[in-house]
Amino acid sequence: MIIEILLLVLLVAIFVFPFIFRKIEAELEIFLFTAGVLAVTIAWQWSTALVMDALIEPVTITVAVFLAGLIFKFIEHRLSKAFARIIDKIGQKWFFFIMILLLGMISSIVTAIIAALILVEITIAIGLEKEIKIRFTVLACFSIGLGAILSPVGEPLAVIIIAKLSGAPYHAEFWYLFEHTWFYIIPSIVALGILSTRLINHGQYHATNEIEDKIKVESISTITKRAVKVYVFIIGLVFLGKGFAQLMETIMANIPPQIIYWFNSISAVLDNATLASAEIWPSMSLAQIISAILSLTMAGGMLIPGNIPNIVAAGKLEIKSKQWAKVGLPLGIVLMAFFFLVLFL
């Protein structure tokens, strides 16, 4: 009982502290890493296997972030001019609609990480003003998170779900999630694109001839530092997932699906793959499985730790926790409320 209470207190701290302590907000990676170490220690889950998983799992993502940083370092000015010309031809609103739609759809093919890196470079290249940059980034990360669930290529959450449902009665294969969720996911991505057109006003990006002066080419040390931060961030998420796994399984076993749906908003700060592993079982109905998938996916966009694309984008674009939450929380709550009505009522 004491362990469960301590873990719940730690969970509240993870939610609240980044919003009330400026130092923690500035060093979110270190904070989540520390919280992860505490969670594993409290739950008494330390093992050699866990440490090895934590050290190995972030490698692919970290390398991708580092290499993408190097590549874009040398082509950033060309991209900026190309995107500016496109905006001049089709207009700002169509550009943002198309980008959010495209990023959401390709994330299940190129992975959510690559889609997030493309988003970052688009945002930098067109020189958005701060407020519009935050809104566009959050909307696009919601789109990427939703689209990535359509195939196991997109993100670990999809891999976990298909693995757990690969046997009877569902016999889930590669396109299983696409077949059963596309009519929820694709309209949601389109809706996010439409919403973006309401958030972009004329003159809120830099003119073509100003963009080159606005871009600051990053140094190798800056690119390396960002990659290291991503590495530490993901280690923290691995530890958090392991530390809270048993508590989550206990909670999931004793509450009805409607409550679980809203409880899944916790994936705004915890790894949604871990939650999926705890709550999705072959004995569940298809409706229950879909409701869990949608709630986990949408809640992941609410806060920066909720999804890897959020972490990557917020890190490079220097978006703070409060700034993200100002857009992400209301948007996520509205999406979850809408699908709650669709699924349960």
Structure tokens at 266: 């916790």
Mean pLDDT across 207-228: 66
Number of separate helices (H) and strands (E) present in the chain: 17, 0
pLDDT of residue 181: 93
Choose between 123 and 247: higher pLDDT. 123
pLDDT of residue 252: 67
Token pair 């959010």 in the structure block, residue: 100
Q: Is the dihedral of CA 299, 300, 306, 312 positive or negative?
A: negative
Task: Say yes or no to pLDDT of 173 above 50.
Answer: yes
pLDDT of residue 218: 67
pLDDT of residue 208: 45
Q: What is the pLDDT of residues 329-338, one digit of tens each?
A: 999 999 999 9
- Kindly indicate the confidence band of residue 92, based on its pLDDT and cuts at 50, 70 and 90: confident
Task: Say yes or no to pLDDT of 201 above 90.
Answer: no
Task: Say yes or no to pLDDT of 279 above 80.
Answer: no
- Kindly indicate the confidence band of residue 217, based on its pLDDT and cuts at 50, 70 and 90: low
pLDDT of residue 100: 95
Task: Say yes or no to pLDDT of 202 above 60.
Answer: no
CA–CA dist 199, 131 (Å, integer): 10
Lowest mean pLDDT among 48-62, 119-133, 135-149, 197-211: 197-211
